[in-house]
Amino acid sequence: LDAAERVGARRPASAGAVAAYRGGYLPEERRELERALRSGRLRGLAATSALELGIDVAGLDAVLLAGWPGTRASLWQRVGRAGRRGEDAVAVLVAREDPMDTYLVHHPEAVVGSPVEEAVLDPENPHVLAPHLAAAAAERPLRPEELGRFGDPDHVRALLDVLVRRDLLRRRAAGWFWVGDGRPADALDLRGAGGAPVAVVESTTGRVVGTVDAGAAHASVHEGAVHVHRGRTYVVEHLDVEAATALVRREDVDVATSAREVTDVRVLAERAHRSWGPVDLRTGLVEVTSQVVSFRRRRTRDGRPVGGEEPLDLPPRTLRTAAVWWTVPEEVLARHGVVAPDVPGAAHAAEHAAIGLLPLVATSDRWDVGGVSTALHPDTGAPTVFVHDAAPGGAGFAARGFAAARAWLGATLEAVVACPCTRGCPACVQSPKCGNGNEPLSKPGAVALLRAVLEHADEDAPPPPR
Q: What is the dihedral of CA 126, 131, 136, 140, to 10 degrees?
A: 120
- Alpha-carbon dihedral sign for residues 217, 222, 226, 229: positive
- Each domain of the chain, given as residue ranges in start order, spans 2-110, 126-187, 198-253, 261-454
Give pLDDT tens digits for 231-254. Answer: 899 999 999 999 999 999 999 999
Q: What angle, 0 to 180 degrees and rounded to 10, lies between the N-to-C axes of helices 343-357 and 405-418?
A: 110
- Alpha-carbon distance of 355 to 415, in angstroms, equals 12
Residues whose CB falls within 8 Å of the CB of residue 48, separated by 6 or more in sequence, listed in order: 21, 22, 23
Strand 384-389 and strand 369-374: pairing? antiparallel
- Alpha-carbon distance of 454 to 412, in angstroms, equals 11
Positions in the chain whose pLDDT score sits under 50:
463-466
Contact in structure between 7 and 18 (CB atoms under 8 Å):
yes
Exposed/middle/buried for residue 414 (C-beta within 10 Å: 0-12, 13-18, 19+): middle
Which CATH number applies to 2-110: 3.30.390.30, 3.40.50.720, 3.30.2030.30, 3.40.50.300? 3.40.50.300
Residue type, 167: D
* Region at 16 (left for phi over 0; alpha for psi -120 to 50; beta for the rest): alpha
Domain 126-187 has CATH 1.10.10: yes
- Alpha-carbon distance of 384 to 103, in angstroms, equals 24
- Nearest-CA neighbor of 273 among 378, 83, 403? 403
Residue 191 has what pLDDT? 59
Residue 463 has what pLDDT? 46
Residue 461 has what pLDDT? 55
Please list the residues that pair with 247 across neighbouring strands. 201, 238
Residue 196 has what pLDDT? 77
Residue 371 has what pLDDT? 96
Residue 85 has what pLDDT? 76
Q: For the chain, give the secondary structure using H, E and C.
A: CHHHHHHHHHCHHHCCCEEEECCCCCHHHHHHHHHHHHHCCCCEEEECHHHCCCCCCCCECEEEEECCCCCHHHHHHHHCCECCCCCCCEEEEECCCCHHHHHHHHCHHHCCCCCCCCCCCCCCCHHHHHHHHHHHHHHCCECHHHHHHHCCHHHHHHHHHHHHHCCCEEEECCEEEECCCCCHHHHCCCCCCCCCCEEEEECCCCCEEEEECHHHHHHHCCCCCEEEECCEEEEEEEEECCCCEEEEEECCCCEEEEEEEEEEEEEEEEEEEEEECCEEEEEEEEEEEEEEEEEEEEECCCCCEEEEEEECCCCCEEEEEEEEEEECCHHHHHHCCCCHHHHHHHHHHHHHHHHHHHHHCCCCCHHHEEEEEECCCCCCCCCEEEEEECCCCCCCHHHHHHHCHHHHHHHHHHHHHHCCCCCCCCCCCCCCCCCCCCCCCCHHHHHHHHHHHHCCCCCCCCCCCC
* Region at 428 (left for phi over 0; alpha for psi -120 to 50; beta for the rest): alpha
Q: What angle, 0 to 180 degrees and rounded to 10, lies between the N-to-C axes of helices 153-165 and 126-139?
A: 80
- Alpha-carbon distance of 162 to 168, in angstroms, equals 9
Residue 270 has what pLDDT? 96
Please list the residues that pair with 447 across neighbouring strands. none
Q: For 214-217, which contacts have Cβ atoms below 8 Å and span 24 or more sequence positions?
A: 214/244, 215/390, 217/241, 217/244, 217/246
Residue 50 has what pLDDT? 85
Give pLDDT tens digits for 211-226. Answer: 998 888 999 999 999 9
Q: What is the dihedral of CA 235, 240, 245, 251, to 10 degrees?
A: -10
